């Protein structure tokens, strides 16, 4: 059976691909950097003897996602899992980032994730087996995040979208969950412009986050928060009054700027 991993060229997606290959999944690796995907593909094919399709593409181009599912159908690949992981953020005062950047973020974190899910559901409905979707959201999707306002809002979309789909579909055929990591070691922070050397919270590794995601891929839980510190943060976000949560989050985010 195949698993699709978007954003497999680095960080959480790369580690997720490694774990899936170790667990005998064939893989469809998606990201823009072909060299990185090829390198990972060679490593995993020789280590685990799995089949791998490298699909280097910009997911924000709608036609690319349509082509991806057409290729899957044409090649008659049996796909069971979709890990919608590709995403990026920006850590700035809202007006200090160009709108183009936000537009690209919304296209990747929201539009392409939605299109991938749509294509996958259509594919699974036409197949005789079940499908599992794990959408990589963030603890940033569980409460508003000052200085990452658009990013946090895109991840709140992912959480809401995933919760709605998990209620809409029969879990025996299609299961959905949202993985909500906290700060994780990856290229994410350099791209977002965050200074994480002085992180106010402990950071998990991408491998730890991916392992947690994989272990819970088929669980009945819809929201998956890896690590004790992140679970505690998510809990405080739920129980404390919203203005206090915003004040604390703002203070923490200021440490990262
Ligand atoms: N790191 C954290 O602290 C953290 C915390 C919570 C949630 N997350 C979420 O975890 C997910 C993975 O992030 P990460 O931490 O692993 O960061 P990362 O190392 O920067 O990985 C991001 C991945 O997305 C791919 N990507 C970016 N733009 C793309 C595009 N237009 N088309 C196709 N692929 C694209 C990148 O590959 P190419 O550049 O090769 O395209 C890369 O493989 C993201 O959704 C992020 O929001 C991260």
Ligand 1: list residues with CB < 6 Å: 7-13, 31-33, 36, 58-60, 85-89, 108, 136, 138, 181, 183-184, 186-188, 191, 206
For residues 257 and 251, what is the distance between their CA atoms, to the nearest angstrom? 11
Candidate of 4, 8, 9, 11 to mutate for ligand 1, largest count of ligand atoms within 8 Å of Cβ: 11
Mean pLDDT of 225-235: 96
Q: What CATH number is attached to the domain comprising 92?
A: 3.40.50.720
Q: Domain total for the chain? A: 1
Q: What is the pLDDT of residue 36?
A: 98
- Look at ligand 1, atom 25, and give the residue with the nearest C-alpha: 7
pLDDT recorded at residue 191: 96
State residue 182's pLDDT score.
Answer: 96
pLDDT digits (tens, 9 = 90+) for 23-59: 999 999 999 999 999 999 999 999 999 999 999 999 9
pLDDT of residue 197: 85
- Please list the active-site residues: 151
Q: For residue 13, which atom of ligand 1 is closest to its CA?
A: 16
CA angle 72, 45, 214 (to 5 degrees): 70
Instruction: Give the pLDDT mean for 170-186.
Output: 97
Q: Using the mean position of ligand 1's atoms as its centre, give its distance from the Cα of residue 85 in Å.
A: 6
Contact 97, 88 (CB under 8 A): no
Q: Whose CA is nearest to atom 31 of ligand 1?
A: 58
Q: Give the mean model confidence (pLDDT) for residues 147-176.
A: 98
Cα separation, 88 vs 105, whole angstroms: 6
**Could you write out the DSSP letters of every residue in the chain?**
-EEEEESTTSHHHHHHHHHHHHTT-EEEEEES-HHHHHHHHHHHHHHH---EEEEE--TTSHHHHHHHHHHHHHTT--EEEEEE-------S-GGGS-HHHHHHHHIIIIIIHHHHHHHHHHHHHTSSS-EEEEEE--GGGTS--TT-HHHHHHHHHHHHHHHHHHHHS-TTTEEEEEE---SEESTHHHHHT---TT-SSPPEEHHHHHHHHHHTTTSS-SEE--SHHHHHHHHHHHHS-HHHHHHHHHHHHHHT-
Residue 183 Cα, ligand 1 centroid: separation in angstroms? 13
Atom of ligand 1 nearest to the CA of 104: 31
Over the stretch 58-89, which tens digit does the pLDDT of each residue have? 999 999 999 999 999 999 999 999 999 999 99
Pick the atom of ligand 1 nearest to 86's CA: 24
84 C-alpha to center of ligand 1: Å?
Answer: 10
What ligand 1 atom has the least distance to the C-alpha of 184? 3
Task: Please classify residue 236 by burial: count the beta carbons closer than 10 Å to its beta carbon, then call 0-12 exposed, 13-18 middle and 19+ buried.
Answer: middle
**172 CA → ligand 1 middle, Å:** 29
Per the structure, the complete domain to which residue 30 belongs is given by 2-255
Q: 35 alpha carbon to ligand 1 midpoint, in Å? A: 16
- pLDDT of amino acid 202: 87
């Amino acid at each position: 059976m195949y698993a699709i991993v978007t954003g497999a060229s680095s960080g959480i997606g790369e580690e997720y691909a490694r774990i899936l290959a170790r667990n005998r999944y064939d893989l469809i690796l998606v990201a823009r950097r072909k060299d990185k995907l090829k390198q990972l593909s060679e490593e995993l094919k020789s280590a685990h003897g799995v089949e791998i399709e490298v699909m280097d593409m910009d997911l924000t181009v709608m036609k690319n996602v349509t082509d991806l599912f057409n290729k899957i159908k044409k090649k008659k690949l049996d796909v069971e899992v979709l890990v919608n992981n590709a995403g990026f953020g920006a850590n700035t005062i809202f007006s200090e980032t160009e709108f183009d950047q936000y537009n690209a973020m919304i296209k990747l974190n929201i539009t392409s994730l939605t299109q991938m899910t749509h294509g996958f559901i259509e594919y699974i409905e036409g197949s005789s087996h079940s499908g599992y979707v794990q959408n990589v959201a963030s603890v940033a999707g569980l409460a508003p995040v000052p200085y990452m306002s658009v990013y946090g809002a895109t991840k709140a979309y992912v959480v809401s979208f995933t919760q709605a789909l998990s209620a809409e579909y029969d879990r025996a055929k299609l299961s959905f969950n949202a993985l909500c990591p906290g700060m994780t070691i990856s290229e994410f922070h350099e791209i977002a412009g965050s200074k994480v050397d002085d992180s106010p919270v402990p950071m998990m590794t991408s491998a730890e986050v991916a392992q947690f995601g994989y272990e819970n891929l088929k669980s009945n839980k819809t929201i998956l928060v890896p690590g004790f510190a992140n679970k505690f943060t998510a809990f405080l976000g739920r129980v404390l009054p919203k203005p206090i949560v915003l004040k604390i989050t703002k203070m923490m985010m200021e440490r990262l700027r």
